Structure 1
């Protein structure tokens, strides 16, 4: 009995280690996207890169444009070379890209390295949730994949904290932005070295016909009985996917209506997540606070609260997603986020510049962040990692995450223009309208995947959209 408990504890400890190492990619995702929030003011000084407002948007969104392409190519590449190898390779790119940004001599050079970092960020955003979903037991899948979201927002919080500390302590040195960007080399090295000790996912190994290696991998993270049972389910699923064709997934597979419908569902969820407006706050939080009446230094320090509330929300989401289910969290997040955005708009419109408006806007923004990061944030990544059959998972998540990142790119590029041209109120009203439209889409198109085996999620879409399919959905 003691030996059984000891083995169980060892497996759990190993699973935690795997999750932490893998999620360094998520932390780097968060840090590199948010580090411009606070460092831009230093880059823009005449003694540094002398960035215009539009160039600030280009530098900020250059990473997200790269991320869009990293996602669409990173998914299929992971299908070919493996989930482990792609993440190991990304550790190298993250380290190289962050160092390049820190030593950039001009804006064009910085943009180039930000784009390279974006390729790694996008690929990590597509592959980390898939890796965790494929390696986790079904009862822990929601919590483990949601760790991806927690580490993203922790990376953002870390960047806000680093920027606030460096800015307040060493703000007299205009080149301090180089240190802010260069800190990201540390988790890059951890991801690169750590992935050498992480096993490949059993489902990917099985998809390549390596059932023996898949079983060995499973036995490292499951009991022997669980491993033997699960390998049979995986083997049956893989053989079913390969019936009638031994080809890898390709763009031609999108001609199958049910596969295309999964892609449309996942991609639209990504657009909803981004057009809810979260990254207008995470990238330009200091500007929003300044527009609400805060001074520059006060806005920089207060912006740390955005990162803190993001972490709290992500932790709440991680422990509720397997209890409440995906759809309930998505609904609640969309409703609360829309309400907060409308309230901020009304205060900005009718507050009349009163002294209390800045504090009220900050409180509403923090409530918005708390609910977003506890619902829309993790659920979007989680559902995208669950809805594709193993054969199409790399291709499908690559496409859907490409769309998500391109939507992110549009928000990052045009929000400063919206803020200047439409004002804070009208900009937030547009984001609120997107949240409301999202509620109707989720109701019509998204299945509840809580506690459902990945192999069973496929039946929902096939039963609904594949006329030749004779099976019935278990969802």
Structure 2
């Protein structure tokens, strides 16, 4: 093997530093996962009469208040990162995450708790848009899939961490109803790591170049590439920017999204986010305990078994990291939607025809774990990855903000209405509906999603312009 070349034949240029960047940046993803899932286990303690005495409705508001805030955080975080820089926004998010977690832990009443949960939601939404965006812009093409997929791994690790922390604290200190404050307050630690770590991370070269700072962009590239690769990539970035001189004169605005080819990218990314959420994953991650109880588990057994959801999510995310750059985005979308649909239908059939059988609960749990592994290894990471790849540099911040806003709003709807679906329609019919959404998703992916494995971000732009911009004279090699 040549010096400076890895086992796959790609330059091994500063891979260690690249993974350090990914680890620090993905503290935002870990906080995304932890803060969304921590209510699965802490709500019972919050609802105690000696604590916040939350009604069932208020429990739903506290739980879904974060996801509503995340929807707005996603759409606001993109434009902020376009103006301030990807690095600066993530640095500030570290501080907001830490202060938000402390505020939730301190909250004297449900109203204050809801305010800080909403603030945390703003940070979660902004991180969900900016972490994959940052990684996509700083990673070399042959590592981009792996690095952006690390975002998904850290999201599900954050969920697993929250399940584990809640199970441990609830078992060890369950006699103290105020233990929920520590459950929520633990998130302060990764918030501090994100804030401090971002001081040691460079700004993305594509953001710097898009703002005319070519020298700084090259210096940023040299920190994460060899000199030869940095020089070559810098030429490609400059060429892409200079195709549209106007992008150096003013920032992107919503008016730009009236252009047919940009609008088509937004529709593609937003619909992909809706498909991801309507595949039903967060019905499992937010209400896994209730699903297991509905399948015949006792309350304590369901709480302990729910930790397996987080563990298998991590296993799936690791698999996704090491397959996305080998098998491709479209193959993983196809396989994920197909297997998830089959698993959801199987659970529905078990609940319909084997309800009450002694073995049905365990069978449901096994199928749900298979569903989780496949989702977290396919639809989970690929949706974030494609959304970070499809927008041109000038529109990337605002564009991903819009598409992730739609994803989060779909998340909010699932989190808000799944308990109603479960009580009114039952588990079987609810899962049949999610399975139907997976099937519809297969047709959408076939018609709209390009294969972006191993190509430069600038080439992805040429695909959409060649397909949807009648004034574009270029061609695209992407199929």
Short-chain TM bin? over 0.9
Greater mean deviation of Cα atoms: 234-243 or 126-135: 234-243
Aligned position for 1:157: 160
How far the C-alpha of 1:43 sits from its partner, in A, is 1.3
Aligned position for 2:219: 216
Is 1:376 the counterpart of 2:379? The answer is: yes
Greater mean deviation of Cα atoms: 201-210 or 51-60: 51-60
Q: Distance in 1 between matches of 2:13 and 2:165?
A: 35
- Of the candidates 288, 292, 299, which is equivalent to residue 289 of structure 1? 292
How far the C-alpha of 1:178 sits from its partner, in A, is 0.8
Aligned position for 1:448: 451
SS in 2 for 1:217: helix
How far the C-alpha of 1:54 sits from its partner, in A, is 2.0
Q: Distance in 2 between matches of 1:259 and 1:2?
A: 42
Is 1:191 the counterpart of 2:203? The answer is: no
- Map residues 16-31 of structure 1 onto 2, 5 A cutoff: 16-31=19-34
How far the C-alpha of 1:460 sits from its partner, in A, is 1.2
- Of the candidates 223, 226, 237, which is equivalent to residue 229 of structure 2? 226
SS in 1 for 2:243: helix
After superposition, what is the alpha-carbon deviation per residue over 1:282-326, rounded to whole angstroms, capped at 9, x for unaligned? Answer: 011111111111111111111110000000000000000001100
How far the C-alpha of 1:352 sits from its partner, in A, is 2.8
Aligned position for 2:437: 434
Aligned position for 2:177: 174
After superposition, what is the alpha-carbon deviation per residue over 1:183-234, rounded to whole angstroms, capped at 9, x for unaligned? Answer: 0000000001110111000000001100001111111110000011111111
How far the C-alpha of 1:3 sits from its partner, in A, is 9.3
Distance 1:108 1:236, change over 3 A: same
How far the C-alpha of 1:52 sits from its partner, in A, is 2.1
Q: Distance in 1 between matches of 2:267 and 2:450?
A: 14
Asked if 1 retains the 8 angstrom alpha-carbon contact of 2:13 and 2:225, the reply is no
Asked if 1 retains the 8 angstrom alpha-carbon contact of 2:25 and 2:90, the reply is yes
Is 1:105 the counterpart of 2:105? The answer is: no
Aligned position for 2:40: 37
Q: Distance in 2 between matches of 1:238 and 1:87?
A: 24
Aligned position for 1:207: 210
Distance 1:292 1:4, change over 3 A: closer
Aligned position for 1:301: 304
Aligned position for 1:50: 53
After superposition, what is the alpha-carbon deviation per residue over 1:137-161, rounded to whole angstroms, capped at 9, x for unaligned? Answer: 0000000000000000000010011
Asked if 2 retains the 8 angstrom alpha-carbon contact of 1:254 and 1:260, the reply is yes
Asked if 1 retains the 8 angstrom alpha-carbon contact of 2:241 and 2:247, the reply is no
Q: Which stretches of structure 1, 4 residues or longer, exceed 4 Å deviation after superposition?
A: 1-6
Q: Distance in 1 between matches of 2:5 and 2:296?
A: 57
How far the C-alpha of 1:242 sits from its partner, in A, is 2.8
After superposition, what is the alpha-carbon deviation per residue over 1:71-118, rounded to whole angstroms, capped at 9, x for unaligned? Answer: 001001000000000000000100011111111111111111110000
Distance 1:45 1:244, change over 3 A: closer
Q: Distance in 2 between matches of 1:160 and 1:244?
A: 45
Q: Distance in 2 between matches of 1:213 and 1:294?
A: 58
- Of the candidates 248, 273, 277, which is equivalent to residue 280 of structure 2? 277
- Of the candidates 75, 88, 91, which is equivalent to residue 88 of structure 1? 91
SS in 2 for 1:303: helix
- TM-score if structure 2 supplies the norm length? 0.97
After superposition, what is the alpha-carbon deviation per residue over 1:381-429, rounded to whole angstroms, capped at 9, x for unaligned? Answer: 0000000000000010000000000000111111111111111111111
The two structures, once aligned, show a CA RMSD in angstroms of: 1.6
Q: Distance in 1 between matches of 2:227 and 2:457?
A: 21
Asked if 2 retains the 8 angstrom alpha-carbon contact of 1:57 and 1:416, the reply is no
How far the C-alpha of 1:241 sits from its partner, in A, is 3.2
Asked if 2 retains the 8 angstrom alpha-carbon contact of 1:57 and 1:414, the reply is no
After superposition, what is the alpha-carbon deviation per residue over 1:110-133, rounded to whole angstroms, capped at 9, x for unaligned? Answer: 111110000000000000001000
Is 1:251 the counterpart of 2:271? The answer is: no
Aligned position for 1:405: 408
SS in 2 for 1:174: coil
**Equivalent residues, number:** 474
SS in 2 for 1:45: coil
Q: Distance in 1 between matches of 2:360 and 2:311?
A: 22
Is 1:123 the counterpart of 2:116? The answer is: no
Asked if 1 retains the 8 angstrom alpha-carbon contact of 2:288 and 2:306, the reply is yes
Gaps of 5+ in 1: none
- Of the candidates 415, 423, 439, which is equivalent to residue 418 of structure 2? 415
Aligned position for 2:332: 329
Is 1:359 the counterpart of 2:362? The answer is: yes
Asked if 2 retains the 8 angstrom alpha-carbon contact of 1:91 and 1:190, the reply is yes
SS in 1 for 2:180: helix
Q: Distance in 2 between matches of 1:241 and 1:419?
A: 51
